[in-house]
């Protein structure tokens, strides 16, 4: 399985990663806020993640690191 790591403190909850993901494995975790007050993005279904890195590429804040 690919590895998708979030530098959560930098996330602004913009949802570009959620939108861009071709396999729809990302969502905002609305159960909590990060240190900036945003709902952070998370991978909720890693088994369907292809490790394409699109989420990391589109993230304006370089929050996501993807390994495969």
Partner 1 sequence: MKIVYQKSAGLTDVPLHYCPGCTHGIIHKLVAETLVEAGVLGRTVVVAPVGCAVFAYDYFNCDAQEAAHGRAPAVATGIKRVHPEAIVFTYQGDGDLASIGTAEIVHAAMRGENITVVFVNNAIYGMTGGQMAPTTLVGQSTTTSPQGRLRLGQGAPLHVCELLATIEAAAYIARVSVNTIPRLNGAKRALKRAFQMQIENKGFSLVEVLSTCPTNWGMSPTDALRWVEQTMVPVFPLGVYRDIEGGT
Q: Which residues bind partner 1 (CB under 8 A)?
A: 2-3, 10, 12-16, 18-20, 38, 51-54, 56-62, 64-68
Nearer to partner 1, 14 or 42 (CB): 14
Q: Give least dist CB 35 to partner 1, A.
A: 11
Q: Give least dist CB 25 to partner 1, A.
A: 14
Q: Which two tokens stand for residue 15?
A: 């949802």
From residue 54, alpha-carbon distances to 9, 30, 42, 44, 46 in Å are: 20, 22, 14, 16, 14
């Amino acid at each position: 399985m690919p590895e998708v790591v979030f530098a959560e403190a930098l996330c602004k909850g913009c949802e570009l990663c959620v939108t861009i993901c071709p396999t729809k494995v990302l969502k905002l975790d609305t159960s909590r806020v990060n240190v900036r007050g945003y709902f952070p993005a998370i991978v909720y279904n890693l088994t369907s993640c292809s490790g394409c890195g699109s989420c990391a590429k589109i993230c304006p804040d370089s929050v996501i690191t993807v390994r495969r």
